[in-house]
Each structure stands twice: as structure tokens, then as C-alpha cells.
Amino acid sequence: MNREIDTTGIKIGMWIFLYSEIILFGGLFVLYAVYLHRYPQFFSEGGKELDRIIGTLNTVILLVSSFTVASSVTAVQRGEKKKCAALLLFSILCGFGFLVNKYFEWGAKIDHGIYPNSERLVNGEPGENIFFGLYYLITGLHGLHVIVGIVLLCLSLVLLLTGRVTAQRFTMLDNSGLYWHLVDLIWIFVFPLFYLVL
């Protein structure tokens, strides 16, 4: 029984996987909501200690990369292979740019003695400890997803260049794109909730 590849079915599967990712982060947002309710002033102070400029820059980077990934899907469907490859490469570079920013941001925080179980957080106010605990957890998990997203995009790029992603068959690229947008989606919430709160 040979049947045609059912792209819609594959997409349903991918979306269901994305739902599980959303709920995975959802568990952390439950904690965020409760602790924001409990320690609003510490969340506000903690938010001011984070670097808004890096945060905004990272938001812009992710939004732009999301756009280029979406465009690469358009490009592949139109058979514009070179354009598609260039767009993907640019998106991957954006991903690395995001990680580099994150590295400097975390590095600066750690230099200030703010990291899980650091002396400052252990002896300081409980609200501050919770804020930065959540900050590291959520941005850490998000960063992990960025890395996975980059790997998926690289894989799609390789498949595109070797001719296994084509205008007729681009599910791999499409799904990697969906994953990348999910990473973006989560950041869109993380950014105001941590960097701009109150």
C-alpha cells in the first residue's frame, strides 16, 4: 500500500509537538505568575537590573530571523533555491547572534554575583532570589530551544543544498521553521515579562 505523502498529517503531528512545548514552558509560567503575584516589587527591581538594550536587541534579532525563515519557506515553494539558502543562512547567523548576546548578558550577571545559589541571592531578599532563579531557568530553557532550532535549520539547509528539500517536498524545512517560530513566540512573552515588568 503506497500512498502519497500526506503533508497535512505531518503538519498536524508537528503542531501537536509544538503544543507539548508550549505546555512545557507553561509550567514555568505558572510559577512566574504565582511569584509575580507574591513579590511584585522584587520582580520590578529585578527587571530593572536586566539589560533592556540587549533584551530589545535580541527581540529584534528573533523577529527578523523569524521573518527570514518564513520567507525561506516562500522561496523554496517558488523554486528559488539560492534565495532560500541565503535566507536560511542569515537566520542561522541570527540564532548565533542571539546566543552570543545571551552569553554576554549571563556573563555580566554572573560577574555581579547573580547566579543560582550565589552568596548574594542566598543571603539577599527571597523575592530577588526567586526572580533570578526563574530568569535563569526560563531563559536557559529558551536558549536550549534556540540551540535545537539552529540545529534544525542547519539540517534543513544541508538537505536543501543536497537537493532533498525541494519545491515539491519541503516538509523538513517547513517544520524546522515552525519550531523556530515557536522559539520566537516564547521569547515574545519572556521579553516583557522579565525585562520590562512593572
Residues 122-181 that bind other proteins (CB under 8 A): 122, 125-127, 129-130, 133-134, 136-137, 141, 177-178, 181
Nearer to other proteins, 30 or 100 (CB): 30
Least distance (Å) between residue 25 CB and other proteins:
8
Stretch that binds other proteins, among 58-66, 92-100, 104-112, 149-157 (CB under 8 A): 58-66
Q: Does 31 bind other proteins (CB under 8 A)?
A: yes
From candidates 63, 108, 110, 161, binder to other proteins by CB under 8 A: 63
Among 175, 144, 182, 156, residue whose Cα is nearest residue 66: 182
From candidates 41, 49, 74, 79, binder to other proteins by CB under 8 A: 74
Count the Cβ atoms, other than its own, within 10 Å of residue 104: 11
Q: Does 117 bind other proteins (CB under 8 A)?
A: yes
CA 63 – CA 68 distance, rounded (Å): 9
Residue with cell 550577571: 109
| DSSP conformation class of 6 | -
Least distance (Å) between residue 49 CB and other proteins:
14
**Residue 112 is inside which H or E element, if any?**
none
CA 42 – CA 64 distance, rounded (Å): 32
Stretch that binds other proteins, among 33-41, 97-105, 149-157, 158-166 (CB under 8 A): 33-41
HSE at residue 147, side-chain half, CA atoms within 13 A, is 9
3 state DSSP class of 68: helix
Size of the chain, expressed as the number of residues it contains:
198
From candidates 41, 52, 79, 96, binder to other proteins by CB under 8 A: 52
3 state DSSP class of 115: coil
Stretch that binds other proteins, among 31-39, 88-96, 97-105, 150-158 (CB under 8 A): 31-39
Looking at residues 11 to 30 of the shown chain, list those that interact with other proteins (rule: CB under 8 A).
11-13, 15-17, 19-30
Among 106, 105, 109, 134, residue whose Cα is nearest residue 120: 109
Q: Does 34 bind other proteins (CB under 8 A)?
A: yes
